[in-house]
Structure 1
Amino acid sequence: MKTRLLYLMLLVCSISFSQILPSGQYGKFEFTNGSLTNTALNGGPNLSGNTNPTIGPDRNGAANDALVGMSTLNGHTLGATNVNNMTLSFWIKSNSIATQQRILQIYGTAGAGFRFELDNSKLYLISKVGNSTYGVLADWNADETIALTNGQWHNIILRTTPVNYNTELELDVFVDGILQNNISGSADLNGTVINTFLHSAQMVLDPTGTYTGGIDDIYLYKSALSDTQITNLANYYPATNSLTKFYVNANATGSNDGSTWANAYTNLQSAVTNATDGDEIWVASGTYKPAVTNRSTSFDVVVPNLSIYGGFAGTETQLSQRVLGSNETILTGDLNGDDVFVDDHFVNSYTHSSKTDNSYSILNITSLGENLVLDGLTISNTHNHTSTRIGAIFKEKTISNLTVKDCTIKNNISKTGAAGILAEFELNNTSGTTGDLIIENSKFINNMSIFGAGMYVYLGDNTNVDVRVENSLFDNNIAGNFSGDGLSGRASWFISIGTNANMDLKLINNTYVNNLDNSTGSGININSRAVVAINKTAGTINAEVVNCIFWNNFYPGSTTSVKSITNTYNDAVQSLNVRNSIDPLNFNDASITSTTATNTADPLFASSTDFTLQSNSPAKDAGDNTYVTTTSDLLGGQRIFNSIVDMGAYEYGTTLSTNQFDSINNEIKLYPNPTTSVLNIKMNSNLKGATIYSVLGAKVLETKSNTINTSNLKTGLYLIIIEAENGSIATKRFIKQ
C-alpha cells in the first residue's frame, strides 16, 4: 500500500471551511423534517423502510433535520451497472458503543461492496471487490483507532478509485476532512480487472438494526471526487432557511421581497435574479413586461433547475389550487400596450406601426439556465425585426433540457424564423445523457415568421435529443414571405443539420388547424409546403406522429388542403411513422415511411373556433393509448376517457378534472421506464399507496411500497395512481416490457 502522506498534506493545507457542495450527486439525503426523499437531480430512488424514523436536531441545531433514532432503511439502489469510482459522505453522532455496530453498507453482486462499523475506540471498513468472469475476489478490511462515540457530529467520507489498469481499487477514508492512513488502503486482484464492486448494489442504513447513533446528510456520487471537492464536502452544511419559493404579483403592495403573496415581487425579473438552483417562482395573474422601453431586454434565466409557474389568483398555498385558464399570467413584449394584429397576414402584421416598441424576445434561457420548467404562462407579442434568429422563448444552444407545460405562446412575429420557441441544440453528448425538449398541453396561436412560426428545433453536431410535443394546439400560425424568402413549416419545424446527431421525435395528440402558408422561398411549392416540416441535412431523426388532427391548413388562393407533413426541400428523415391521425390528404408525402389507421374524415369540431369534438366525431375513441404519457387533455380533463383516447388535443365527454394531480405530478419520477421486473417510485412526499391499472381501466395491482415487483404484469402500457400521505394524488404511466 502506497503512502498517503501527500494527500494528507494537501488536505490540511486546503481546508477553508467552504460551503460549496460538489454537484452531480446520485444520492442526496438531508432528512429535512425526517424526509427520506432523494433530492438529487436525476438521481436514484428514495430510501424506504421505516417511514417514520425518530428525528431531531442536526449538527447546526436545526430541529427535526437529522435521523437520531435509527432502524433499517433501504431502497436506494445504484442501478444494474458496476460502479468502481465512487464517493460517499455521511455524518454520524453517537454516544458510547461497547460492542461493534454496523452503521451503513452498500453491497451488490457476489457480496462485493463495503460497510462501515463503529465502537468506542475504532472505525471499521470491510470491503470486497471481484471479477465475475473468473470468480476471483479480494478484500480490504481495516480499522482506525479514533474516538467517534463522544456525542458529537463527525463526517465520514469514502472515496474509491481504480488504479493499475483497473486491477486494484484504492479506498480512501476521511474523518472530519482528514485522511485516515490506517483504515485507507486498496483491494488488489493481482492483475485481474475489477468488474464487480458496486454492481446492482443497494445502500442500507443500520442494516442489522443495532446501530444506536444518529445519521445525517448523506451524499453519494458515482465518481471519485478530487481532494478539493472532498474538503468542500466535509465542510458543507445545507442552508436551513433558504427561500425555495418566490412570489410575484404585479399588484402587490408589501415589502417587495418575494417572501409571500402579500410581500410579492412586482417585477418577475427580480424573482428570476434572486432565485437559486432548484427554486420555484409563483406568478399571479397580470401583465409582466421585461422592460419599459428597451426592446433588447428579456427575462434572463441564469440559474439551473428553476420552475416558473403562472396562473395564480394570488392566494394559493398549493400548486394544485391553481385553476388554469382563470387567472392568466401574461409575459408580453408589447411595451406600449397598443398592438394591432392582422391575424391572416404576416407582412401586414410585421410592418404595422404598433410593433415598433415590442421586445425582440420574452425569455432568454442562458447557458446557466439548465432544466427550466415553464408552466401556466402566456408568452406573447414579441417582434423581432433584427437579422438574428431569436424566439419569444430562446434557448442557448448548450442547454439540454427544457419543459413547457400549460402555456400559451401567441401573437409573436419574427423576420428570421422561429417566432414562438427557438430550441437549437449543440450538446456534444453522443456518449452522455440525452437532452429533452418537452412541450405539453400548450397552445401556439397567431405566431408569424418566414419558417417554423410556432416552434423551430434543430440539432447540431454530436447531439442527441428526445423531443415530445403532446396535447397541444397549433392554430392560425403563419409561414409567410419577407422579400420572397418564406420556407414553410408554419406550425413547427424539426431538423437535424449536424453529423452524429440523433433526434427521437414524438408528436402525440396535437391539433393543427387553420395554419396558413404563403411562403415562396427557394424549393418551396404546393408539394413541399408543410404544416409540420421534418427533415435533415445530416444526422438521424426517427419520428412518430400519433393521435393528431390536421385540418383546414391552407395556402391562400388554393381550393384544396396543403400537405400536413413534408421534408420541404431537404432530405427525408430515416423514419417517419404516422398512426391514428386525420389529414384531408391522408399523409400522402414520400417522406412518410408508413401510415397506420389514418383517415381523411372531417373531425367535426364543435365550431370553427372551438376545437373540442362533437359526439359523432370520427376522432372520438380512435386513438392509440400506448403513446399517451399525460393524464389530462388540453382543458385539464381526463386524457383517456371511455377506455380509448381520442385524436387531437381535446378528449370528448371527459368530466374528471386532474388539477388535483398537479401538486405532486411534477415531483414524481418512475424508473426504470420501460420496466421489466421492478418499478421504483421517487417522490418528495411520503407514499401512502399506489394502484396500477391497465389502459382499459382494470385494476391489476395495489401496493404501499416505493419499489414494485412488475415481473408478473403482461407486456404493455399501464397507468399508476399514486397517493401521498398528505392526500395529494398523481397519475403516471409506465411501460412493461
Structure 2
Amino acid sequence: MKTRLLLLLLFASSFALAQIPTDDITRYLFSNGNLINEANSGVGDLVQSGTASTTTNGIEGIPNNALKINSDSFDGSAVVTSSTTTEFSYSFWFKLSGNATSEQEIIRFTNQDGHRIFFNQQTFSNGAVDFKWRIEDSSGSGTGRLATESSLNDGNWHHIVMTSTAVTNPTNFMELRIYLDGVFSQNLTNSSGPFTNGNIFYSSHATTISNQTSTGFTNDIDNVRVYDRTLTQTEITALANEIVNAMNPTDDLITYSFENGSYLNYANASNNLSLDSGATNTVNGHCGESNSALQSAGGTRLKASGINGSTEETSYSFFVSTTATGNFSEIVHHFSNYNNTSIFSGSTAVLDGNKITVVMRPFCGTGLCAQQSGYLNTIGSTVVNDGNWHHIAYTVAKNTIGSDIQYEIKLYIDGVLDATNTTGLIPASNNPAYINGTNEIRLFSGSGDFYVGSLDDVRIFNRVLSQPEIVQMSSYCIPLSPSIVYVDAGATGANNGNTWADAYTSLTTALSNNPSTGPTKEFWVKAGTYTLTSLNDKFIISENQKVYGGFNGTETMLSQRDSDANETILSGDVNSNDNGILQFNETTYADNAYNVVSVVGSNILLDGLTIKGGNATGFGSNPSIRSGAAIIISQNAKNADFNRLLIDGNKVIDGGVVYFNQSSGQTGNYNYNFTNCIFRNNLGRFAAVYYASNPRTSGTAKTVFVNCVFYDNIVANVPGYNQGTNTLFWFRTDVSTTHIGEFINCTVSSNDFNASNYTASIISASRINGNCTVRLYNSILWDNKRADNNAEHSTIGSFGSQAVATRVVRNSIAPNFSSGIAQNSSTSNPMLGSFPGKYKYQIGNSSSFAIDFGDNSFFPASVTSDLLGNLRIFGSQIDAGAYEYNSTLSNEAFTVNENVVKIYPNPTSNSLNILTDKELESVKVYDVLGALVLSEKTNKINVSGLASGAYIIKIKTKFSQLITKRFIKQ
C-alpha cells in the first residue's frame, strides 16, 4: 500500500496554522447515530422525541455518521459555560434537498432565563435558501435574515458558523456574524433594544435540534459544535474544511494498490489478481512512489474470480496515465454471469479515443431487461490521454421511482462530475440486477480491446460514494504497507500488522500479505509458538523479508528484545503431539510438516527464532519431502542471513535439516551466512545438519558459519528405506563451478554417528568436477563418536568415492586431522563443559587449551560478540570455539569452578543474565573504586541505570560459594 503524501502537501500550510478547535462545550458528531455530547459525555446528551429520523452518510461519506431529522426533535440538557460569557460561536453542517416553502426550525440554543437563538431555514423555488435567526431575552430581541445568492438545496453538505459578541457601542448590544462554507457572509447588530447586561446566556445553555413546537427540520444535520467564545476566521476555515480533510473511505471490497508489482487485494485476504495473459511492468505510482503502479504495452489481462456477494449499488475508483488513443479499450471490467447463462451484466470503464466512457447493462429475471437490452454508455468529456495521472471514479446507483427501477451512472474525472446517464424505467417486478452472485473483475482488458498505459489504486465499494468522498480519493495516496509488520498470536485488534495491538495473529498470513520486491519488510514476532497446519504448509520467506523473534510485545526498537527470555517458535508439529524421541518412524511426528521454513527470495533474514518439528521423511521423487525439514532454500534465494537461530528437533530421511540444492540452468553467486546459531537434536540419514550443492551453470556458492554450536545431532539408518552415511555437513560440487564452506569459531561436540556407512567425515566436501573448498578457522570439534567403536569420527574428508575437496584448517582443535591440511592447530583436549540450558559445550575452565588459541584475522569484524553475547575477543587474542572464556579481574580465590556460573551479555546496556544451575544467595555489583552500586537476588539484573564503564559482580550461591566476575556497562 502507499504513503499519504499528496493530501498532506495540499493542506500542510493550513494544518500548520489551524486545527479544528477542540475547546467546544457541546459537540454532537452522530457517529453511528450516537447522541452523546462528546465534549462532555453525560452532560447535555440529546434525547430524541419521535421515531421518524434515521442515520445517513456523514460529511466525510462514512455511513451512519449523520442524522436525517425527518421532523423529529432532539433535546439536550443545559451545559455549564466556562464563565458568564458575552461570546458564543455555533457551528454545524446541513444538507438540503427539495424546497421548504415554510420555515423549518433547524436548531436553537436556549438558557433557563429565556434567552434563545433560533436558526430557521426556508427554501425558495429557485433553490436559494433564506436563513432567519432570532435572539431574544426578557428585555429585548434582535432578528436577522440572510438569503443565499446561489442554490443550497443541491444535495451537498454546507457549513454554517454564527458568532455572537457583545459590543460596547451601543452598550449591551450583540453583534452576530454569519459564515457560509467558511466565508464571511453578513453581520448584524440587534436593533430592538439592548439585552439586560450584554449577555445572551449567563451560566448555561441547552441545544435543541428541530424543535417540535415549531415546524420541524426534515433534512440532514451533522457535527454540531458550540463554543463559549468567538471563533477566529482561521478556525472557522478549519471547521469548514472538515469535509475536505475527511477520512478516506475504508469500506472497500477491493483494493489493488500494486505496491512493488503486487497483485494482492489489500482490502481483504481473498480475491487476489492473477495474470491471465501478457505481462505487466512496475512504474512510479500517481503519488510518485517507485514501483507502485502497473503498466502494460498491450495484450495484458489480470483477473480475480469468485468474488462473492450481490450488490445493486457499486462505486469504482482508479488512476490512469496514458498517451494512447483507445478503441473502446477496457480498463476496469466488473461483471457477473447471471445464473450461469451466456448473458452477462455489469459495467466497464473504457478508453474511447481520448476520453473515458462507462458501459453498463443490467439483467432482468431470466434474460436482458427489455427496457435496457443494449448497453448504456455514459460518455465523458474530459481528455485523459495527455500522459498525466487522472483519477477516474464512477458510481452505479439503483433508484426506485414509483413501482419502477432506474439505474443511474455518474462519471467523475479528477473529483469533478463529468457525465451522467440513466437507464430506462424497469418494472421492479422484473427483478432487475446489476451485479448478482459470484462475479469477476478484469483489468487492462475484459473481453475486448486491450488498454495500453498505466493503472494504479483500483478500488471497488459495495455502495454509492458521495462526491466529497470521491474528491477526497482523487488526491489520496494509499499508505504504503509499513516497513515493520507486527505478529502476535494473541492480538485482538484489527489484525492488520500495523501495531502490536493490531498485530497479525498468523505469521503465514503476515508474510503472504506483505511481499516486497523493493524496500525491506521487517516482521516483529512476539514470543509464542506459531504452528503450521498441514504436511505441505510452510512459512514462506520471500525477497526482502526480515523476520525477527524474541519480543514481549511492547518493544519499539530491535535492541529491546530478548530472544532467550521471549522464545519465538516456528513449529512443524501440526497436532502439537511430538514426544521428543529422536528416531525415524516415530508415529507422533507423522502429522508434522515436511518443511518449517521455505526461503524463496534473496536478501532475507531470520533472527532470534526457534525452528523445530520439521519432518521431511516422505517417500517420493521430490527432494523437498525428504530434505530441508527446518529450512529449505530455493535456487531463487541468492543471499540469506540467519542469526541467533535454534534449529532443534527436525528430521530428514535424506540430507540436511537445512538444505540448499541447485538445479540445471542456475547461474550467479549464492551466499548464506549463519551467525550465533545452535543446531541440536536433529536427525538425518546423511549430512544431517546441512546439505548444499553448487550452481549448475556458473558462479560460486558460499556458506559461512560463525559462532555456531552443533551438538546432540544424530546420523542414522532409515528402517525400510536406506542405510545412512555418517556426516553432519556435505558441500557437494558436481559440475565446473565453485563451492565454498567456512566454519569460523564454531563448536561441534557430542554428536552421534550411528549409520552403517563411514565413508564420510563430520564435515564432508567433495567434487566430481569444478572447485570445492572447505575452511575451518578457530573452531573446535570434539567428542563426536562413532557407534561401531566409540572412537572419534574423522574431522574433514570426502563423501563416498568422490574426490576430496581442498581443505584448509587454521587455529582449530580436533582429535584428528588429515595429513598436511592443518596449521597452528591442535589435537589436545579443549576441556569443554556441558553447561545447563541450550548454551552447552563452552570452555570449561581456565586451563583449557582453547583460550587465546584463535587468530583474530580470521574472525569477521562485523561480529563483535560470542554466542552468549559476551565480548568476542577478551584480552588480545580470540579463543577457539563459539564462546569466549571470560576470566575475572579479581585476585579473590574461587571456592567453586568458574564453569558453575556464566554472565551474559558482556558488554551490556540494559540487563545482565546470570547462568547457573546453583541457587543464588546474593548478587552484588561494585564499581572500580569498590563502592556497592547494586544488590539483587535474581538471575537477571537491570543495570541500565549504571554509568558506562567497568564493574565487578560478586555472585554468592547457596552454601557460600563465591564467584567474582567483571562486566562492561555500555
TM-score, length-normalised on structure 2?
0.41
Query: Is the strand fraction higher in 1 or 2?
Result: 2
3-state SS in 2 of match to 1:415? strand
Residues 203-252 of structure 1: CA deviation (Å, up to 9, x unaligned): xxxxxxxxxxxxxxxxxxxxxxxxxxxx97999x9975431111111122
3-state SS in 2 of match to 1:269? helix
Between the aligned partners of 2:854 and 2:833, the Cα distance in structure 1 is 19
Q: Which residue among 778, 789, 800 is the counterpart of 1:547?
A: 778
Structure 1 pair 261/584, CA: closer, same or farther in 2 (3 Å)? same
Report what 2:508 is aligned to: 269
Between the aligned partners of 2:804 and 2:684, the Cα distance in structure 1 is 24
Asked if the contact 2:726/2:755 (under 8 Å) is kept, the reply is no
Report what 2:156 is aligned to: none
Between the aligned partners of 1:359 and 1:63, the Cα distance in structure 2 is 52
Report what 1:628 is aligned to: 859
The count of corresponding residues between Structure 1 and Structure 2 is: 431
Report what 1:189 is aligned to: none
Gaps of 5+ in 1: 1-18, 21-31, 34-55, 65-152, 156-175, 179-230, 344-348, 662-728, 730-737
Residue identity opposite 1:393 in structure 2: I
3-state SS in 1 of match to 2:833? coil
Between the aligned partners of 1:274 and 1:427, the Cα distance in structure 2 is 31
Residues 68-115 of structure 1: CA deviation (Å, up to 9, x unaligned): xxxxxxxxxxxxxxxxxxxxxxxxxxxxxxxxxxxxxxxxxxxxxxxx
| 1:678-693 correspondence runs (5 A) | none
Between the aligned partners of 1:239 and 1:628, the Cα distance in structure 2 is 46
Between the aligned partners of 1:238 and 1:494, the Cα distance in structure 2 is 49
Report what 2:569 is aligned to: 330
Between the aligned partners of 1:426 and 1:305, the Cα distance in structure 2 is 23
Between the aligned partners of 1:621 and 1:394, the Cα distance in structure 2 is 36
Report what 1:286 is aligned to: 528
Between the aligned partners of 1:457 and 1:508, the Cα distance in structure 2 is 18
Asked if the contact 1:373/1:404 (under 8 Å) is kept, the reply is yes
Between the aligned partners of 2:11 and 2:712, the Cα distance in structure 1 is 55
Higher relative contact order (CA 8 A, sep 6+): 1
Report what 1:360 is aligned to: 594
Structure 1 pair 656/475, CA: closer, same or farther in 2 (3 Å)? closer
Report what 1:601 is aligned to: 828
Residue identity opposite 2:769 in structure 1: A
Structure 1 pair 657/444, CA: closer, same or farther in 2 (3 Å)? same
| 1:380-399 correspondence runs (5 A) | 380-387=612-619, 388=623, 389-391=626-628, 392-399=630-637
Between the aligned partners of 1:573 and 1:259, the Cα distance in structure 2 is 52
Asked if the contact 1:399/1:425 (under 8 Å) is kept, the reply is no
| 1:288-307 correspondence runs (5 A) | 288-291=530-533, 294-301=534-541, 303-307=542-546
Residue identity opposite 1:549 in structure 2: I
Q: Which residue among 752, 759, 765 is the counterpart of 1:516?
A: 752
State the 1:261 CA deviation: 1.0
| 1:499-538 correspondence runs (5 A) | 499-520=735-756, 524-525=757-758, 528-538=759-769
| 1:24-103 correspondence runs (5 A) | none
Asked if the contact 2:645/2:676 (under 8 Å) is kept, the reply is yes
Identity of aligned residues (%): 31
Between the aligned partners of 1:354 and 1:405, the Cα distance in structure 2 is 30
Q: Which residue among 243, 247, 251 is the counterpart of 2:490?
A: 251
Report what 2:676 is aligned to: 441
Report what 2:19 is aligned to: none
3-state SS in 2 of match to 1:535? strand
3-state SS in 1 of match to 2:498? coil
Q: Which residue among 390, 406, 415 is the counterpart of 2:653?
A: 415
- Asked whether 1:638 is paired with 2:871, we answer yes
Structure 1 pair 616/61, CA: closer, same or farther in 2 (3 Å)? farther
Report what 1:648 is aligned to: 881
Residue identity opposite 2:875 in structure 1: N
Residue identity opposite 1:390 in structure 2: S
Residue identity opposite 1:560 in structure 2: A
Between the aligned partners of 1:429 and 1:60, the Cα distance in structure 2 is 47
3-state SS in 2 of match to 1:334? coil
3-state SS in 2 of match to 1:335? coil
Asked if the contact 1:536/1:570 (under 8 Å) is kept, the reply is no
Residue identity opposite 1:518 in structure 2: N
Structure 1 pair 637/61, CA: closer, same or farther in 2 (3 Å)? farther
Report what 2:662 is aligned to: 425
Residues 49-71 of structure 1: CA deviation (Å, up to 9, x unaligned): xxxxxxx989965979xxxxxxx
Between the aligned partners of 2:491 and 2:706, the Cα distance in structure 1 is 35
Between the aligned partners of 1:578 and 1:471, the Cα distance in structure 2 is 16
Between the aligned partners of 1:415 and 1:452, the Cα distance in structure 2 is 10
3-state SS in 2 of match to 1:310? strand
3-state SS in 2 of match to 1:468? strand
State the 1:653 CA deviation: 0.7
State the 1:336 CA deviation: 2.1
Asked if the contact 2:829/2:849 (under 8 Å) is kept, the reply is yes
State the 1:488 CA deviation: 3.1
**What is the aligned-residue RMSD (CA, Å)?**
3.5
Asked if the contact 1:489/1:533 (under 8 Å) is kept, the reply is no
State the 1:421 CA deviation: 0.7
State the 1:658 CA deviation: 6.1
Gaps of 5+ in 2: 14-286, 290-320, 324-452, 458-475, 888-903, 911-969
State the 1:608 CA deviation: 6.4
State the 1:400 CA deviation: 1.2
Report what 2:733 is aligned to: 496
Structure 1 pair 244/633, CA: closer, same or farther in 2 (3 Å)? same
Report what 1:482 is aligned to: 718
State the 1:580 CA deviation: 0.7
Worse overlay, 373-382 or 603-612 = 603-612
Between the aligned partners of 1:659 and 1:322, the Cα distance in structure 2 is 13
State the 1:370 CA deviation: 2.3
State the 1:385 CA deviation: 2.2
| 1:54-203 correspondence runs (5 A) | none
Asked if the contact 1:537/1:570 (under 8 Å) is kept, the reply is no
Between the aligned partners of 1:564 and 1:154, the Cα distance in structure 2 is 57
State the 1:536 CA deviation: 1.7
Residue identity opposite 2:718 in structure 1: F
State the 1:365 CA deviation: 2.4
Between the aligned partners of 1:404 and 1:519, the Cα distance in structure 2 is 29
Residue identity opposite 1:359 in structure 2: A
State the 1:471 CA deviation: 0.7
Q: Which residue among 586, 597, 609 is the counterpart of 1:377?
A: 609
Report what 1:461 is aligned to: 696
Between the aligned partners of 2:564 and 2:12, the Cα distance in structure 1 is 40
- Asked whether 1:611 is paired with 2:837, we answer no
Between the aligned partners of 1:581 and 1:238, the Cα distance in structure 2 is 58
Residue identity opposite 2:616 in structure 1: N
State the 1:486 CA deviation: 3.7
Residue identity opposite 1:403 in structure 2: D
Q: Which residue among 546, 569, 575 is the counterpart of 2:800?
A: 569
State the 1:559 CA deviation: 3.5
Between the aligned partners of 1:412 and 1:322, the Cα distance in structure 2 is 26
Between the aligned partners of 2:767 and 2:830, the Cα distance in structure 1 is 31
Residue identity opposite 1:611 in structure 2: Y
Structure 1 pair 60/570, CA: closer, same or farther in 2 (3 Å)? farther
Residues 713-735 of structure 1: CA deviation (Å, up to 9, x unaligned): xxxxxxxxxxxxxxxx9xxxxxx
Asked if the contact 2:514/2:521 (under 8 Å) is kept, the reply is yes
Structure 1 pair 398/276, CA: closer, same or farther in 2 (3 Å)? closer
Structure 1 pair 421/620, CA: closer, same or farther in 2 (3 Å)? same
Asked if the contact 1:512/1:550 (under 8 Å) is kept, the reply is yes
Asked if the contact 2:506/2:530 (under 8 Å) is kept, the reply is yes
TM-score, length-normalised on structure 1?
0.54
State the 1:429 CA deviation: 6.4
